[in-house]
């Protein structure tokens, strides 16, 4: 039998719900092996330090590692952060960019879109690699449509160019790639740093 009062438990549950805890989070909390460390935080003996999500965007991406990289825009070390339901890279919001040529039912060819994105701060496939390993960083809204990482272009042995994308399917985050000979529509944005 628990020594906690019903009012205490109810207050805690209301506060956890207000902070966005899901029933799955509560289950994980109950199974957490180092729960005593959380007690140390509550008593003021320890601090919670967020884990830095650093991506080396100068490295070669792991996905399609056996394919030739036609273009790989290096951008150094990038710190990813998820807050307020959005993804940030080095403190700047990551937007899902759409060309005017792919809005309102229009379709733009991949090669033409690649040229348009040449001067935009698009993210490369290293970020895609990292997001697949850390799906908690991916904004919920990204489940709608697919998100392309135009900072890395791959070439297959036959010579065709491809770009990788992230999508939600089968209950989890997955990736694939599309041939640049394909047409891009309004549900196929590019992961791009938002303009300041």
Give the pLDDT of residue 196.
47
Average pLDDT over residues 31-39: 85
Please report, rounded to a whole number, the percentage of residues in the chain having pLDDT higher than 90.
Answer: 66
Query: How many whole angstroms separate alpha carbon 126 and alpha carbon 128?
Result: 5
Look at residues 164, 138, 132 and name the one whose alpha carbon lies nearest to residue 67: 164
Interatomic CA distance for residues 99 and 120, integer angstroms: 11
pLDDT in tens, 95-151: 999 999 999 999 999 999 999 999 999 999 999 999 999 999 999 999 999 999 999
Is the pLDDT at 65 greater than 80? The verdict is no
Please report the pLDDT score of residue 132 as a whole number.
Answer: 96
Token couple for 194: 């938002």
What element of type H or E holds 171?
none
Q: Which residues contact 192 (CB under 8 A, 6 or more apart)?
A: 94, 95, 96, 97, 117, 120, 121, 122, 123, 150
């Amino acid at each position: 039998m628990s020594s906690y009062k019903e009012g205490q438990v109810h207050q805690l549950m209301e506060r956890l719900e207000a902070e966005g805890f899901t029933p799955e989070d509560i289950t994980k909390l109950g199974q957490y092996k180092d729960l005593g460390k959380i007690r140390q935080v509550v008593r003021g003996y320890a601090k919670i330090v967020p884990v830095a999500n650093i991506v080396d965007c100068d490295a070669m991406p792991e996905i399609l590692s056996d394919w030739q990289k036609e273009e790989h825009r290096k951008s150094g070390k990038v710190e990813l952060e998820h807050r307020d339901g959005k993804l940030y890279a080095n403190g700047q919001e990551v937007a899902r960019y759409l060309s005017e040529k792919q809005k309102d039912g229009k379709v733009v060819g991949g090669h033409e879109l690649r040229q348009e994105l040449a001067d935009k701060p698009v993210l490369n496939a290293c970020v895609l690699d990292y997001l697949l390993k850390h799906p908690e960083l991916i904004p919920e809204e990204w489940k709608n449509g697919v998100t392309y990482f135009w900072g890395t272009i791959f070439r297959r042995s036959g010579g065709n160019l491809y770009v990788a994308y992230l999508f939600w399917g089968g209950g989890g985050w997955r990736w694939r790639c599309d041939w640049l000979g394909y047409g891009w529509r309004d549900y196929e944005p590019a992961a791009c740093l938002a303009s300041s």
